[in-house]
Amino acid sequence: MTTVIPPAPQTHTAHPHTSFSSRFALTFALFGVWIVWGAMYLITHKVLTEAPPLWMAAVRFTVAGASLFTILRLRKAPMPTARQWRNAALTGVIMMGLASGSTITAQTLNSSGIASVVASTATLWFALLGVAVGMRPSKLEWLAVLLGVAGVAVLFSDQTSGVNPWGLALGSFAALTWAAGSVLSQRLDLPSGWMRTATQMLSGGVFLLLLSTLRGETPLFTPSPSVALAWATAILGGIVGFGSYTWLLARGKESLAISYAYVNPLVALGLGGLIGGEHMSTQEIVGIGIILAAVVTTTVASSSASSASSASSASS
């Protein structure tokens, strides 16, 4: 599994095979954060028809993290240091526990459309928190963030009636904590590669198990066959999606990583249309157009940043 996303090149010497591997890794990572995570909206909704939200998230992340950790250790991956475990636990609790747990709970209080709009504000929080710690988003990256949030808002603007304020508050808290955990994870000593994903998911999952128990949720041990399949898919999708996200962050591709927040609703809407055979309204078409403009802007911004970084490295 570790060979699917290869490590970043350690030299600046152009090599055809290395270049192809890097492009493949980036394509795989974008597929993970855009398509796989986007499909998780529908998968999570299916599991939540039977399982309580925190229990659902706890099992998903604990099983995913423990399974991935075991596989990596069997493949002789180095054991994280005590410092790395501490940092992984901190960021895992923030991102998997507080952020994802709040997002999933918010989905039980409001429609997935409203949840998507609120979740997309994570891009704004990420940019603002990044500025606070010394990061400098480009004008194109700011434009992409604003376009993305606006596009998601237009996409689901007809679902604003009957909004649960507690769900809105939980979703906003989730967006803020996810962005905070993402920024923090770039500044701490964490395990490398997939071990980083495993330790963060495992830590967040254990924290959610504690929260689920304290909240008095009734554990679900015997789901129906369809829900069990959806749950297994959510576990695998979580590994691929979060692993791709952390890979992008670790390589300084923040704008591409955080773009999941406005691309995922678009993917979920498309899958819902394919499955349910629903026709898109003019409003949805406009929203999709704005989101696609945000995606193009994000890609151009990331490409410009990579070219500037390469030129700087070459000159030094």
Structural domain count, the chain: 1
Sort 138 into a burial class: Cβ within 10 Å, 0-12 / 13-18 / 19+: middle
Residues lower than pLDDT 70 in the chain: 1-20, 112-113, 159-162, 272-273, 275-280, 302-316
Residue 313 lies in a domain: no
Structure tokens at 43: 């998968």
156 lies in a domain? yes
Q: Is residue 5 part of a domain?
A: no
Q: Specify if 180 maps to a domain.
A: yes
Q: pLDDT tens digit string along 92-109?
A: 999 999 999 998 888 888
* Nearest residue to 4 via CA among 196, 166, 247, 170: 247
Tell me which residue range forms the domain holding 112: 29-305
- Asked whether residue 24 is assigned to any structural domain, the reply reads no
Asked if residue 10 belongs to a domain, the reply is no
* Spatial CA neighbour of 288 closest among 147, 144, 108: 147
Q: Are 308 and 79 in contact (CB under 8 A)?
A: no
Q: Is residue 22 part of a domain?
A: no
Instruction: Write the pLDDT tens digit of every residue in 54-64.
Output: 999 999 999 99
* Total-model pTM: 0.80
User: Which ranges of the chain would DSSP assign to H, the alpha helix?
Assistant: 16-30, 37-47, 53-74, 82-92, 101-107, 112-120, 122-132, 139-155, 165-185, 193-215, 225-250, 254-258, 260-276, 282-315
CA neighbor of 103 nearest in space, from 49, 145, 44: 44
Q: Is residue 94 part of a domain?
A: yes
Residue 222 vs residues 58, 205, 232, 298: alpha-carbon distances, Å = 16, 19, 13, 43
